[in-house]
């Protein structure tokens, strides 16, 4: 599978233009988007991803199109998990509603940066070490089991410990002052809570990049598809936050769906490694004949069903009892 260079370059240019336009909209029209506005933007970005997927089918063929769709759905699922952590961070620090849009955009740009770095690192490892799929697969299985039993609680606890460390050692005001990192109060320079919030979001972005990049390399080995799937998954995440932010923690079975997806891709990677095996201490360095290589369409089906079941079960549980104390500002 080879995608034309002109298509890759033009796609990256268009994606950059869309991200810049989104950033400029925040600068020109700082406001809290309504549910209707957020819903329209989320629909626009989903439609844009589907159009791009259609172009991948036309330009790159069925394999490229299927790999992009499967990768995008996987990364979108993990991005919703990322969104849950953003909601917790904003609530923990009581970030004023009017500043959350700018902070979220910074968080999304950091996520794209970190994922870009890990994509290049992953591509280099795959090119140099064929056995790296064993490592990726085992890592995802561990993360999947952790997610199944504790969700993101372990990651959040580690992050909270780091934040408590920072708060004890920085002279800090307890109020936000716009998007300023430091202010002067009675001649003393103080940090604002914004710096700790951005450290928390940046740390979460790194954690999710470490999780998500091995997952999508279990679907495709094309760095271009990996990067574009990640960017499209992160597009509209800011608007999705305002649309579903106060409900995201009510999707109580979401982490089970994500845990299953990560574990499934972990198994898929191990099977792929066995199918292509060249390690001398496994089957004498020969490929393992019985190890199936799970196809992209099968992977896409499993991922969609897993997320559908998790979200559907969560909504069913929500309908069984009314939301109590739901605050749209959280």
Segments making up each domain of the chain, as ranges = 5-320
Residue 17 has pLDDT above 50, yes or no: yes
CA distance 106 to 273: 37
Per-residue pLDDT band for 328 (boundaries 50, 70, 90) equals very low
Task: State mean pLDDT over 62-86.
Answer: 87
Task: State mean pLDDT over 297-304.
Answer: 88
Question: How much is the pLDDT for 330?
Answer: 39
Residue 325 has pLDDT above 50, yes or no: no
Residue 170 has pLDDT above 80, yes or no: no
- With a CB cutoff of 8 Å and minimum separation 6, the contacts of 326 are 246, 247, 250
pLDDT digits (tens, 9 = 90+) for 179-204: 788 888 878 888 888 888 888 888 87
Q: What is the pTM of this model?
A: 0.80
* DSSP secondary structure of 169-212: HS-B-SS--TT-SEEEETTEEEE-HHHHHHHHHHHHHHHHHHHH
Residue 1 has pLDDT above 70, yes or no: no
Per-residue pLDDT band for 327 (boundaries 50, 70, 90) equals very low
CA distance 258 to 77: 7
Task: State mean pLDDT over 284-310.
Answer: 86
CA distance 257 to 148: 9
Q: Of 44-48, 107-111, 149-153, which one has max mean pLDDT? A: 44-48
- With a CB cutoff of 8 Å and minimum separation 6, the contacts of 125 are 132
- With a CB cutoff of 8 Å and minimum separation 6, the contacts of 132 are 125, 126
Average of per-residue pLDDT values in the chain: 82
């Amino acid at each position: 599978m080879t995608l034309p260079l002109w298509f890759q370059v033009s796609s990256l240019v268009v994606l950059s233009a869309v991200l810049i336009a989104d950033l400029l909209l925040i600068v020109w029209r700082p406001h809290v988007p309504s549910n209707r506005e957020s819903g329209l933007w989320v629909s626009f970005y989903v439609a844009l991803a589907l159009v791009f997927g259609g172009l991948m089918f036309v330009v790159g063929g069925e394999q490229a199109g299927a790999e992009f769709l499967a990768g995008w759905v996987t990364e979108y699922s993990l991005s919703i998990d990322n969104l849950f952590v953003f909601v917790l961070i904003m609530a923990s620090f009581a970030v004023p509603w009017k500043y959350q849009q700018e902070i979220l955009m910074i968080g999304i740009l950091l996520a794209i940066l970190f994922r870009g770095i890990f994509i290049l690192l992953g591509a280099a490892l795959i090119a140099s070490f064929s056995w790296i799929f064993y490592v990726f697969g085992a890592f995802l299985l561990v993360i999947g089991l952790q997610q199944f039993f504790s969700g993101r609680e372990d990651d959040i606890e580690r992050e909270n410990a780091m934040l408590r460390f920072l708060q004890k050692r920085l002279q800090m005001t307890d109020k936000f002052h716009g998007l300023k990192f430091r202010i002067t109060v009675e001649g003393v320079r103080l940090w604002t809570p914004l710096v700790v919030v951005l450290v928390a979001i940046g740390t979460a972005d790194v954690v999710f990049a470490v999780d998500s990049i091995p997952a999508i390399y279990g679907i495709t080995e094309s760095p271009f598809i990996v990067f574009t799937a990640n960017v499209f998954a992160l597009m509209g995440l800011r608007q999705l936050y305002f649309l579903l932010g106060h409900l995201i923690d009510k999707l109580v079975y979401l982490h089970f769906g994500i845990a299953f997806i990560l574990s499934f891709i972990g198994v898929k990677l191990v099977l792929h490694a066995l199918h292509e095996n060249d390690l001398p201490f496994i089957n004498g360095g020969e490929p393992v004949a019985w190890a199936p290589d799970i196809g992209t369409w099968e992977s896409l089906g499993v991922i969609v069903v897993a997320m559908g079941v998790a979200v559907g079960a969560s909504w069913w549980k929500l309908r069984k009892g009314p939301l109590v104390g739901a605050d749209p500002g959280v």
